[in-house]
Amino acid sequence: YKFIFILCLTLIKHNLLITNRLKYIDLIFQSSNTLDLIIIIMAYPYQPQPMAYPYEPQPMAYPYQPQPSPSDPMLPLPASIYGPQYCAPYAIDLTIVRKVMTISDGNFAVTDVNGNMVFNVKGSLVTLRDRRVLLDAAGNPITTLRRKIVTMHDRWEAFRGESTEAKDLIFTLKRSSLIQFKTKLHVFLAGNTKEDVCDFKVKGSWLERSCMIYAGESNNIVAQMHKKHTVESVLIGKDQFMVTVYPNVDYAFIVALIVILDEINLDDED
C-alpha cells in the first residue's frame, strides 16, 4: 500500500507525460527500500505537460445584442394611417395651440418648429364638443373626430375626410377602464374589430399636462407631448403643447389623438 500511495502522489505532483510515467513506475518497483524511493522522488525532474495550444479567446462571430423581452414584443407600426405624406424618416416637433373657439375658426392650430401652419382643427359651437375636423394647411379635411353619445368608456371614432360613414372609419378610441386616476386610452385601428389588443395606447397626466403614446401594449414610445407654460397660457388661457413624433410615425394621426385626449380631459374638468 505504501508503494501505491507514493506512486499516486508522485504522478500527480509531477504531472508527468504518459511515456515518462511508465519509466517512473518501473523505477519505483525496482527500488528495494524506502530510502531508494525517496531518492527517486527527489531526483526525478519535474516535467509539466505543455499545452498543445496556448489559450486564446476566440472572437464572437456576431457581437452580442440584447434580446427583447417576450412580454414586451416589438410591434410593427403601420406604414401610414392617413397617408405617407404625414410620415417622415426623422422626428417631427410640432406645437399645438389651443385657443378660444369662435364660429369662424377652430380651437386648435398646429405649427412646425419654424412657425409654419401644418394643421388646423375646425369645430362647431352647435355640436358643443362632440365633433372636430382636422384640416391640412390648405384647408382640406383630413379626418373627422366624433364622440359616440351613448357610451360607457368615452368612445371616439375617427373617419377619413369629412365622412362619418362606417366604410371610412380609421380608428376607434376609448378609455381602458371606467375608473381612472390618470387618463389611459386604447386605440383600435379599423381592421381591429375584436378589440382584444389595442394598436396604440395613450397615457396622459392631465395634472402635469403631458402624455405618452405607445405602440400596442408595449413600452415602445411613438410620440410624446407636454404643456409649455407661457404668459399667454396663464393670462388668456391660450395653451401650448409641445409634441415630438418619432420617425416613421404618422403625425396627422398623433395630432388627432391629442385633440381627442384634450376633449376628454376638458370633460373631466367640467
Q: How far is CA 235 from CA 39, 111, 239, in A?
A: 104, 22, 10
Per residue in 16-69, pLDDT (tens digit) is 444 454 555 565 556 556 555 555 555 555 455 555 544 444 444 444 344 443
Report how far residue 103's alpha carbon sits from residue 108's, in angstroms, rounded to the nearest whole number: 13
Question: Would you state the cell numbers that stand for residue 151, as one nine-digit string?
Answer: 357610451
Report the pLDDT averaged over residues 190-202. 93
Confidence of residue 216 (pLDDT cuts 50, 70, 90): very high
Higher pLDDT, 91 or 21: 91
Asked whether the predicted pLDDT for residue 258 surpasses 50, the reply is yes
Confidence of residue 72 (pLDDT cuts 50, 70, 90): very low
Q: What mean pLDDT value characterizes the chain?
A: 75
Q: How far is CA 61 from CA 5, 58, 64, 264, 267, in A?
A: 48, 9, 9, 53, 58
Confidence of residue 81 (pLDDT cuts 50, 70, 90): very high
Instruction: List the domain boundaries for the chain.
Output: 1-62, 91-269
Higher pLDDT, 183 or 211: 211
Higher pLDDT, 48 or 138: 138
Report how far residue 182's alpha carbon sits from residue 180's, in angstroms, rounded to the nearest whole number: 5
Which of 144, 165, 173, 155 has its CA nearest to residue 82? 144
Report how far residue 142's alpha carbon sits from residue 136's, in angstroms, rounded to the nearest whole number: 7
Asked whether the predicted pLDDT for residue 80 surpasses 70, the reply is yes
Q: How far is CA 209 from CA 203, 227, 239, in A?
A: 11, 5, 10
Pairing of strands 141-147, 239-245: unpaired
pTM: 0.67
Least confident piece of the model among 41-55, 152-166, 210-224: 41-55
Residue 160, pLDDT score = 97
Which of 156, 161, 124 has its CA nearest to residue 144? 161
Report how far residue 166's alpha carbon sits from residue 184's, in angstroms, rounded to the nearest whole number: 25
Domain 91-269 is of which CATH architecture? Answer: Beta Barrel (2.40)
Residue 204, pLDDT score = 82
Report the pLDDT averaged over residues 77-91. 88
Contact between residue 237 and residue 266 where contact means Cβ atoms under 8 Å apart: no
Asked whether the predicted pLDDT for residue 74 surpasses 50, the reply is no
Question: Helices 18-30 and 34-43 meet at what angle, rounded to 10?
Answer: 150
Strand locations in 30-182 (E): 92-98, 108-111, 117-123, 131-136, 141-147, 156-160, 169-175
> Hey, is 38 helix, strand or coil?
helix
Higher pLDDT, 267 or 110: 110
Higher pLDDT, 80 or 14: 80
Question: Would you state the cell numbers that stand for residue 93, as one nine-digit string?
Answer: 416637433
Report the amino acid identity of residue 143: T
Backbone phi and psi for residue 177, each to the nearest 5 degrees, phi listed first:
-155, 165
Report how far residue 251's alpha carbon sits from residue 92's, in angstroms, rounded to the nearest whole number: 8
Contact between residue 168 and residue 146 where contact means Cβ atoms under 8 Å apart: no
Higher pLDDT, 100 or 255: 255
